[in-house]
Amino acid sequence: MVGAGSLLEPGRDLQSNMTTLAETKAILHSADAVCFDVDSTVIKEEGIDELAKFCGVGDDVAEMTRNAMGGAVPFKKALTERLAIIRPSHKQVNKLITDHPPHLTEDIKNLVDHLQQHGVQVFLISGGFRCIVEHVAAKINVPLSNVYANKLKFYFNGDYAGFDETQPTAESGGKGRIIRLLKEERGLKKVVMIGDGATDLEAYPPALVSGFSSWKGGAAGFKITMSAVANVTRWVSDSPSATGGRLPT
């Protein structure tokens, strides 16, 4: 999904890739915090689809995931229906993580490191499952206190018992609720949300901007394409001062 892209403002197309890179760096530099979606953003896969394939019901779940990402179905309804098909056991979830760990998007760890080194807090806010997201967080050095995701529930024998429906990430609009809480409780003023689905778009506002790998809607506000973020990650990796100095504005 990463290709030529631009930072979009309503009614405006920025054709120059260099302009996109400069503006994206400026936005990330000015942020107090950057919140990343996980599936198809920090990692290359959709976690629930990988779990479904591992449990032998991949085809039944993939189309439901696409509808959920596009906002055609309320997120909680789509999550409930998909999990009712998958019904993963605790053993299956652990084996998926062990045998088929998620693959990080190229250079995302360098970007996270760079942001953290210069005082920008990094959060993972995902409609995926905390057991998988925690594994990803460990790979990119995001503290677990900065992780927000859905929690699977299991019976004592390890069978699937549902999910925690009280989590904000289980609801449409939940990512925006989390960002509001972060701003209130941690004193954050400028928060950027980067992701690829309808629930990420819903985070603007209160997020300063929302970023997408591909989005065809016409919502107001800035949108950072994931290709712009990819350009920043490549810049961080290629820059001689990648581990020193600030993101230039």
Active-site annotation holds for 159: no
Select which of 13, 32, 39, 159 is catalytic.
39
Residue 12: CB atoms within 10 Å: 9
Residues 6+ away with beta carbon under 8 Å from 25:
232, 235, 247, 248, 249
Tell me if 226 sits within 8 A of 212, measured CB to CB: yes
Tell me if 62 sits within 8 A of 49, measured CB to CB: yes
Q: Which amino acid is at 66?
A: R
Select which of 37, 107, 196, 200 is catalytic.
37
d(Cα 148, Cα 33) in Å, to the nearest integer? Answer: 14
| Tokens read off for 170 | 């289980």
d(Cα 87, Cα 54) in Å, to the nearest integer? Answer: 11
Active-site annotation holds for 49: no
Q: How far apart are the first and last CA of the chain?
A: 26
Q: Which residue has the tokens 């009712």?
A: 84
Residues 6+ away with beta carbon under 8 Å from 119:
none
DSSP 171-225: STTHHHHHHHHHHHHH----EEEE-SSHHHHTTTTTSSEEEESS-----SS-EEE
Annotated catalytic residues are: 37, 39
